[in-house]
Structure 1
Amino acid sequence: YQEEFRALHKDGSYRWLLTRGAALWDKTGKPDRIAGSHTDISERKKAEEALKSQLTALEAATDGIALVNPAGEYFYLNQTHLELFGYTQPNELVGRQWHIIYPPEEIERIEKSVFPQLFKTGKWSGEATAVRKDGSTFAEEFSLTLLEDGGLIRVCRDITQRKQAEEQMQQNHQRLAMANAQLERATRLKDEFLASMSHELRTPLNAILGLSEALQEEVYGSITDRQRKSLSTIQGSGQHLLELINDLLDLAKIESGKMELHICAVSLQKLCNSSLMFVRNQAHHKNIKLTSQVTEKLWEIEVDERRIRQVLINLLSNAVKFTPTGGSVILKAEEDLLRNTICFSVMDTGIGIAKENMPKLFQSFVQIDSRLSRRYAGTGLGLALVQRTIEIHGGRVDVESEVGQGSCFRVTLPIKQSGEPNGEYQSDLGDLSQFTQSAISNPQVLIIEDSITAAEVISRYIREIGLQTLTYPEGEGALEQVIQVNPGVIILDLQLPKVSGWKVLAQLKAHPQTQHIPVMILSVVDERSQALEMGASEYLVKPVSRQLLRSTISKILGRLETPESVNHAETALVVMPQTAPESPLILIAEDNETNIKTIWDYLLSKGYRLILAKNGWEAISQAKEYHPQLIMMDIQMPDMDGIEAIKRIRDNQKTREIPIIAVTALAMPGDKEKCLGAGADEYISKPVSLKNLVSTIQQYVHVEVKDLQLVSN
């Protein structure tokens, strides 16, 4: 017999015993005695209990666990491992080789790559493609641990869902990157389109409005009342179209995040009065009483004066438009010291707004009632612009209205305590005293940029530190242009038409004549590492501040010095009327024939003497030769643009004091600042009112004019 049982030891503890015995028989065949032995198996019992606990834990594990003997055969697999590979009974895998669960290509990879590392370090983990009992495959993550006897512990799990999620995430990332690239390109194209549209629409409008104004003033002869009425209609329609263009451009700027606020100290009384003046005639025609109530406790506020004035004008214009004859419109400005805000209220006795139409008020291109839109013309953009402009100021717009009783629009802005004006348009050239006036070997900076606006901004920033600039609008032919010009520095935009900036950079760094020239990259996308690896000297992400651009140029060149004067244009068109020599002499720099005729005829009728230049070179030459009392400078001209011409006129000792009025169709953010920063005294955006133009001219033409020889073309 053989039995296992517990017995009580002398010391009071229990021990496990294995007893074996056999009966001994006498000669007669009867049992005589029993002989046997007792063995203490307590330690073995403990080991068995421990093993049992471990096996229970292995069976409960969520990962598949298997034990492989030194011969490479499975001798234990937990239930999770069996189910993972589609098996139900351990004997289906026990005694079989480890590689039964892998396809041939994975077996080869594991034997060649995995086992050498496993035998070297004792551990390995990674991924593989595994095969189930039914032949289907799945993504497996597994680890191997080498035992002392040469066997293996194998732990595995199914990661198919994780791999699918990672693949989906990668695809989403790629789609997002592609969408971002397309969005960046679309934004750039939209900005360029807006700049182009602004210029192309304003240029013909300037002629329409200017000529109709001149005709009404009988510059070309007397007109009948019927003709005057028709011209007034043309003038009004053109002005309405101009307002639509301005609204569209402003809305596009705000929605693209390109609206820049120019905060300065503004007289509250002056702001309100100038806004009321704009609608005075409109109110007078309808016999509407205009009144203002402006607090005297707050003298000045810090806002973008032009934007806030436009907000008030929009609200006042709407109030007058929708108020019947004989009504009243009130503009009130009062401060709330507890909330530290200023509140502008525009109240009217107009037709009012129904409650159901309130949600439509601030939607773009939406008029609340189609019947009203036929009676009251408008773009449907005014209130949308009001709300967005106030929001970027950190304020809000509220409205109360009752049908038949009138409306009250309230604009609330945070009060910023006013000090001195912030000098938004002041030049920051004071830090250039360190630079000498001698020539340097390569003074020119070549700007390869397809955006005219961007190129002009960059050019102005660079010219302010005494360097010459040239621009080239595309990647195609850029290498040849660089070889021809041999500039000291190249500024390269990456997003160019036809041939990308990347390809241009590669060409420049591969060609022996250009590879030494420093290249500064400008781009809306931060790809600095790649650009520097390809040989770029610097990489700046748009938008770039004036200070950063100039300091980077300084770092590249080591020092910046003023180049020598450039050659004048070979010929210049000079036309002067036979008027009295004591009348003011004005230089008109303009290349558009229609605009020339419009302004020329009107100014001649007012008694001014005129000379004409059709590009920047001619303007510089004419200014030096005739020293006019005033220069009217168009910005977008061939050969040399107006910005460059203004800069060079200001750099010349003989011409630097001549007043310059920039008259341009450019109306995008920063255009005014570019003109004033280059040295213009005034900025007028086309289309321009000829009366206002003359009024502006009269501010600068009080200097006595010398007798000049009259020249005709």
Structure 2
Amino acid sequence: MRTDDFFKVLLVEDEEVIVRLLERILAGSPSDGPDFPVFRLQRAASLSEGLERLAAGGFDAVLLDLTLPDSRGFETFSRLHGGFPEVPAIILTGLDDEKLAVKAVRAGARDYLVKVHMTPSRLVLSILNAVERQRQYLETKSLAQNLQESESRLRVLNGELHKANQELRELNRLKSNFVATVSHDLRTPLTVISSIADNLLDGALGPLTKEQALWVGKIENRSIRLNEMITSILDLSKLESGTSELRLQRVDLSGLIRSLLSQIELLAKAKGIALTHDLRETLPSIWADPGMLEQVLTNLIHNALKFTPPRGTVHVSARQDQAFVQVIVSDSGPGIAPEYHDAIFERFRQIREDVESGASGKGIGLGLAICRGIISQHCGRIWVESQPGKGSNFIFQIPLEVQPPDAGSGPILIVHGDRGAREALANSLSAKGFEVAAFEDPQRALPWVQEEGGRLGLALLDAALAAGAETLTQAIRTAKPGAPVVFLSVRSKDIPAGSKSPTVILPKPFKLQQVLGMLNDLVPAFQSASIEDDGDLWTPSAAEPPSLETRKILIVDDDEDIRASIELALRLRNFRVESLSRGDQVEAQLRQSPPDLIIMDAILPGIDGCRLCRELKSSGGAKGIPILMLSAKAQREDIEKGLNAGADRYMTKPFKNEDLLEAIGDLLAGKSERRPRETGTLAGH
């Protein structure tokens, strides 16, 4: 290859005259000047000799005659180029074989020179161009090869990354399943412990001494705390895996905070802590998941109470900050050093101040990590401002969210399958001056939407009316694209697949106050309506229930201890009780001795509890018999699965006897509609 000082050129030529001519030209002359390149020419008189010299290497170019003693014509170039394609070849040709030279150039030669027309400048320029073009070719070839190798490595890396992602997803799935399984398996014995403690405190096995009651109370309190830890682990697992789903609704943040503070006030007083607030009446409502937001606020306020000494203060304030709402929970506790301000939001992280403060009820370090995950899901952020000895301010802010499009002031469409609820809604809204069109089902409402939908103001649809609901919502979108649609349901899965924003979920049972408040948010033209609490608009009518003492309850659970503890609690209240351990025994029992209410576990041997519930409701075996489903699975999708299967209530383990008895009383009184709440979680249609 070429050095920095000269070009090494091989001349393959058998005519001495041509050799001497080329040697003289490439040697240069004083008239060529100092910039004339230096060539070192070596000569081979035959192709075989030329190939030997090329094999030794180091040549920058070769000048090749096609007519040699041992080779003639195009074959001469073909043999040389086939053996040494990296050395640029310039063909030397006579007038009679110029066509062969052109053919050689097409096959890879860098240039050709007709001997009789060759000039010194033409020769030198041809060599320099050939060397440069070959250099560029080799560079391009090297780059292409490197690119190909890089692409190959990238494909391998992409494959490895894809495999790693699949493995991570599988590990994440296994982790989530493991957490859910362990949580379920822990909640089941925890239910037994809690229920037995309740029964003992209720005197089911005789009166307790004061000291015995104290220790049984400790058992109950610890079981509650353990259940809270299990719930926290599940919540964090869902947040980290991205399977936690937001259920956005219009939330009165001021009202939510006031309600929470009223519930926590007694705890604060018991600790000798002043619980104050600054909540402005002008604070706007926000689009958020109320359950998750309540979880964040509860965690922050309880943490503040936990680390605030007696005679201290916990203060909660909220204000609008441009397009955000900001909430601050302040305490007069020991404060937190700056180096821990980020660490406290990490999972399982316990900081030094936790230990030194002597705070009771120390947790497992998940609460703030869950808060951060929830606030992040709301496109917000959370942080702490604190100094040792000066208390702490925990602050989070979330966006107000974009308002749904203005729908104007047209009529309100009501589609509800329950006549009482439909008429109550229509009459109440009409009395407030609204134009109302009310229908029993989507099929009857569709012609009205097709004719009058262009002036629609808002639609209130019962999400439980699955048949025709998707067609109706699509017709509404076509007739009035900006019209908000409000689904009346506790189950988001009831909402038709074609339903898109703007939509709102209004949980049942609902009040006129809620409906009008929602109208104020969605349709500015309705804001002049006066809002009063007119009570529940949907309270199913029921005859006065007979005495509970005459009621028979069937318990279906494969856990003997749970069956025994529930049966003991019910018999203590004079219920008649029968119990089964398998789901496939239920239908025969119903035929033989139908109960007034069924309490069943969601997971049963013989047949899955949800499947059994669905079959009992659809086949008529449990027609008119309310079903209370129990489960250690407490996530919202688990609750919805149970309710969608036909359960009238869903209660998560562990639960307190008083919550179980309240649910039984409601169901026996015909109150099967219930908004989800934590007890355990109690939910119903």
Equivalent residues in 2 for 1:612-627, closer than 5 Å: 612-623=579-590, 626-627=593-594
Equivalent residues in 2 for 1:81-480, closer than 5 Å: 86-88=57-59, 90=61, 98-99=78-79, 149=103, 152-154=107-109, 157=138, 158-159=141-142, 160-268=145-253, 270-297=255-282, 300-336=285-321, 339-369=322-352, 371-372=355-356, 375-376=359-360, 377-416=362-401, 426-427=463-464, 429-431=466-468
Structure 1 residue 273: Cα displacement: 4.0
Give aligned pairs, total.
458
Equivalent residues in 2 for 1:21-100, closer than 5 Å: 86-88=57-59, 90=61, 98-99=78-79
Deviations 1:379-420 (A, max 9, x none): 111111111101101222233224333222222222248899
One-letter amino acid of the structure 2 residue matched with residue 634 of structure 1: D
Please give the alpha-carbon distance, in whole angstroms, between the structure 2 residues aligned to 1:173 and 1:692: 54
Please give the alpha-carbon distance, in whole angstroms, between the structure 2 residues aligned to 1:653 and 1:291: 54
Please give the alpha-carbon distance, in whole angstroms, between the structure 1 residues aligned to 2:64 and 2:356: 84
Please give the alpha-carbon distance, in whole angstroms, between the structure 2 residues aligned to 1:649 and 1:361: 50
CA gap 1:89/1:590 in 2 versus in 1, 3 angstroms:
closer
Judge conservation of contact 1:147–1:153 (CA < 8 Å) in 2. no
CA gap 1:658/1:341 in 2 versus in 1, 3 angstroms:
farther
One-letter amino acid of the structure 2 residue matched with residue 403 of structure 1: P
Q: Give 3-state SS (helix, strand or coil) of 2:318's partner.
A: strand
Percent sequence identity over aligned pairs: 30
Please give the alpha-carbon distance, in whole angstroms, between the structure 2 residues aligned to 1:590 and 1:628: 16
CA gap 1:92/1:403 in 2 versus in 1, 3 angstroms:
same
- Asked if 1:671 is matched to 2:638, the reply is yes
Q: Give 3-state SS (helix, strand or coil) of 2:558's partner.
A: coil
Q: Give 3-state SS (helix, strand or coil) of 1:400's partner.
A: strand
Judge conservation of contact 2:341–2:385 (CA < 8 Å) in 1. no
CA gap 1:231/1:163 in 2 versus in 1, 3 angstroms:
same
One-letter amino acid of the structure 2 residue matched with residue 87 of structure 1: G
Please give the alpha-carbon distance, in whole angstroms, between the structure 1 residues aligned to 2:221 and 2:242: 32
Q: Give 3-state SS (helix, strand or coil) of 1:380's partner.
A: coil
Please give the alpha-carbon distance, in whole angstroms, between the structure 1 residues aligned to 2:656 and 2:355: 33
Q: More strand per residue: 1 or 2?
A: 1
Give the aligned partner of residue 122 of structure 1.
none
Deviations 1:575-628 (A, max 9, x none): xxxx98843332322111121122221222122222323333334454565443
Structure 1 residue 634: Cα displacement: 1.3
Judge conservation of contact 2:314–2:331 (CA < 8 Å) in 1. yes
What's the Cα RMSD here?
A: 4.4
Q: Provide structure 1 residue ranges, at least 5 long, that are not aligned to the other structure.
A: 1-47, 49-58, 61-70, 77-81, 104-129, 134-144, 435-459, 465-544, 549-578, 705-713
Please give the alpha-carbon distance, in whole angstroms, between the structure 2 residues aligned to 1:694 and 1:346: 36
Please give the alpha-carbon distance, in whole angstroms, between the structure 1 residues aligned to 2:567 and 2:278: 44
CA gap 1:250/1:269 in 2 versus in 1, 3 angstroms:
same
Structure 1 residue 188: Cα displacement: 2.5
Give the aligned partner of residue 667 of structure 2.
700
Judge conservation of contact 2:554–2:577 (CA < 8 Å) in 1. yes
Give the aligned partner of residue 454 of structure 2.
none
For normalisation by structure 2, the TM-score amounts to: 0.58
Structure 1 residue 648: Cα displacement: 2.4
Deviations 1:16-58 (A, max 9, x none): xxxxxxxxxxxxxxxxxxxxxxxxxxxxxxxx9xxxxxxxxxx
Q: Give 3-state SS (helix, strand or coil) of 2:291's partner.
A: helix
Q: Give 3-state SS (helix, strand or coil) of 2:398's partner.
A: strand
CA gap 1:184/1:357 in 2 versus in 1, 3 angstroms:
closer
Give the aligned partner of residue 488 of structure 1.
none
Structure 1 residue 213: Cα displacement: 2.4
Q: More helix per residue: 1 or 2?
A: 2
Please give the alpha-carbon distance, in whole angstroms, between the structure 2 residues aligned to 1:414 and 1:74: 84
Q: Provide structure 2 residue ranges, at least 5 long, that are not aligned to the other structure.
A: 1-24, 26-35, 38-45, 69-75, 88-98, 110-133, 405-411, 413-457, 472-491, 499-545, 672-685
CA gap 1:592/1:423 in 2 versus in 1, 3 angstroms:
farther
One-letter amino acid of the structure 1 residue matched with residue 155 of structure 2: Q
Judge conservation of contact 1:329–1:349 (CA < 8 Å) in 2. yes
Please give the alpha-carbon distance, in whole angstroms, between the structure 1 residues aligned to 2:306 and 2:459: 36
Deviations 1:406-445 (A, max 9, x none): 22222222224889999999436224999xxxxxxxxxxx
Structure 1 residue 257: Cα displacement: 0.9
CA gap 1:650/1:293 in 2 versus in 1, 3 angstroms:
farther
Q: Give 3-state SS (helix, strand or coil) of 1:279's partner.
A: helix
CA gap 1:342/1:583 in 2 versus in 1, 3 angstroms:
farther
Q: Give 3-state SS (helix, strand or coil) of 2:629's partner.
A: strand
One-letter amino acid of the structure 1 residue matched with residue 368 of structure 2: L
Please give the alpha-carbon distance, in whole angstroms, between the structure 2 residues aligned to 1:74 and 1:424: 95
- Asked if 1:604 is matched to 2:571, the reply is yes
Structure 1 residue 299: Cα displacement: 7.5
CA gap 1:329/1:685 in 2 versus in 1, 3 angstroms:
same
One-letter amino acid of the structure 1 residue matched with residue 355 of structure 2: R
